[in-house]
Chains A and B, each alone.
Chain A
Amino acid sequence: MSDPLYFILCGVCVALVLIGINMMSKVKKAVGGNLLSAAATLFAMVLTVIRYGITSGAALYVCLAAGTVAGILGASKAKMIAMPQTVAVLNGLGGAASALVAGASAWDGAATAFGGITGGIAIAVGALTFTGSFVAAGKLARIIDSKPKKLPAHGFFTVLLTVLTVAAILLGTFGAAGWNFAVAVLSLLAGVVFVMRVGGADMPITISLLNSLSGVAGGIAGMAIGEPLLVAVGGIVGASGLILTQDMCRAMNRSLGAILTGKTTTAPGAPAPKAETPEKPAAEAPAGITEADVAERLRTAKKVIIVPGYGMALSQAQADVARLADALEKNGAEVKFGIHPVAGRMPGHMSVLLCEAEIPYDKLFMMEDINPEFAACDIAIVVGANDVTNPAANTAEGTPIYGMPVLRVADAPMKVVCNFDTKPGYAGVPNPMYTAPDVLLMLGDAKVSVGKLIGFVTAGK
């Protein structure tokens, strides 16, 4: 295949990918967009086979086939609830693949200094993505403790690893190629060190960042072997991860630097961050409206807004929440869901859970769209969300969440909060809503609390 034709076809491929992504911005077209991206990838592979005349080499094709089967089997087995860790694992594999590509080309001997350096960087970023993603997946699946872990002199280690990696890349380029093994080992270590000190609520940001890095690794590996298509798609993926990372940071009112250096922004004197696993629910509920008031309001409500959070995912109450919404709708109420961008453990986590529970997508509303409606609803129900509803974000100057955009649940005339306990959320700022007179606190397992609410709605029928 001649060069110009190849480059034109590469351009077509990239265009198809971009159109596919563009289609993903509408839920109806998104399935097609994904298929288009998949088709473009297949097209790119065929293009590569023709361009490089890869017709021999059975091992290569066996590996490709085995990978396809393993990937599809894995995806079909994956549960929706396990989505964050599944994406993280796949992401790690992509990073490892990029590192291996660069490693193989370095072993064969890079022709130029540019090839050597980009190869070294690709090994570093790919290896870091690999271990980082697997540690993140372990934390998300709660195989490893999800609390931030800090080494003594953590910052020093990070700097040391970075300096050593850069040195090894230079040695690998201008000295013996064997130094690339040192690059790999150091970066594998760096991935662990980097993610181990990220905890709970910062996970969505870390996942997005790792996603970006796996794209960057691919793009740089493409530079190392001089493959433009790889470079282009790597660049697109890198950009997408960066957008998600930016969005998450903005929605949490935190800087990327603070998260990477593991600053858990706990307010001074505040109690320890909320335990992630259910222990003993607090028994006392502050005085205020009673369950009977709420039951009455729920039965007559015309408009209800439900705000889900990570607590719903933890207690797996999404199906119960769906039943509650159904019961309310049968009573003639309009039910909407208000979703905060960082609710959950990955970008868009809540929509996946709610859709799995068969709640129609058009009932889910992003924060900025639903916020004006809280004042006009009859009752708002919070299920396992805390920081993202905390009105203190608007008023409590000097606290970590001050200025963070929150769902304005506090505007609703009556609220039910089905949270596990009254401890402050991850940010460590007490939520004044818990003691407000128009709030009914239902502490304990969200599943049980939501079940009770369903009972209120259907009682007397």
Chain B
Amino acid sequence: MSPILLVLIFVVSAVLGYFIIRAVPALLHTPLMSGMNALSGITVLGAMVAAASARWTVSLVMGCAACFLAMVNVAGGFALTHKMLRMFAGKGEKK
């Protein structure tokens, strides 16, 4: 893809994200941060591509290590956020 397009995608999604995330109340900032943290593991896509297209053993090892680390980030992040949010919602409904 052309570099300009890629930079443009980055800027547009950052601006879109900015306005949507503004609406999240401060009380929910911990789960928001933890959810965003899980999303930052999206780099797993890059890791998969890097590992699959690696031409050298070194890059293969780096790609596979990245797959593992990014997946811990994704799975752990979403699971943690889920745990936290269930606690928030669950306790709110009681009483």
Contacts and interface: CB of A to CB of B under 8 A. Distances in A.
Given A31-B85, A76-B83, A247 B26 contact: yes
Contacts of A223: 3, 6-7, 10
A243 B42 CA distance: 20
Contact of A217 (B43, B49, B75): B43
Interface stretch (A35-43, A145-153, A418-426): A35-43
Contacts of B23: 22, 25
Contact of A94 (B30, B41, B48, B67): B41
A25 B44 CA distance: 26
B13 A101 contact: no
A230 interface: yes
Contacts of A267: none
Contacts of B71: 63-64, 66-68, 70-71
A239 B32 CA distance: 12
Interface residues of A, number: 112
Bin the interface of chain B by size.
35 or more
B37 to A, nearest CB: 5
A219 B27 CA distance: 27
A242 B7 CA distance: 18
Given A41-B42, A90-B80, A351 B67 contact: no
Interface string A31-73: 1011101100100110011001010110110011011111110
A231 B9 contact: yes
B42 A101 contact: no
A98 B37 CA distance: 13
Nearest to A88: B37
Nearest to A126: B43
Contacts of B32: 21, 24, 240, 244, 347-348
A133 to B, nearest CB: 10
A59 B20 contact: no
Nearest to B18: A239
A403 to B, nearest CB: 19
Contact of B46 (A68, A101, A349): A101
B20 A45 contact: no
Given A24-B31, A25-B28, A243-B18, A221 B43 contact: yes
A54 B15 CA distance: 32
A439 interface: no
A227 B49 contact: yes
Interface in A94-136: 94, 96-98, 100-105, 107-109, 112, 114
Contacts of A52: 48-49, 52-53
Best-buried of B6, B10, B46, B56 by chain A (most CB within 10 Å): B46
24 contacts: A24-B28, A34-B35, A52-B53, A63-B67, A67-B67, A67-B74, A70-B76, A75-B80, A97-B43, A97-B65, A101-B46, A103-B59, A108-B50, A108-B59, A215-B36, A221-B43, A228-B6, A232-B9, A235-B14, A239-B14, A339-B27, A347-B30, A348-B29, A361-B92
Given A24-B28, A94-B41, A237-B37, 17 more contacts: A21-B32, A24-B24, A30-B89, A75-B75, A90-B38, A90-B72, A100-B66, A105-B59, A207-B33, A227-B46, A227-B49, A230-B42, A232-B10, A236-B13, A236-B36, A360-B95, A361-B92
Interface of B: 1, 3, 5-7, 9-18, 20-56, 58-60, 62-89, 91-92, 94-95
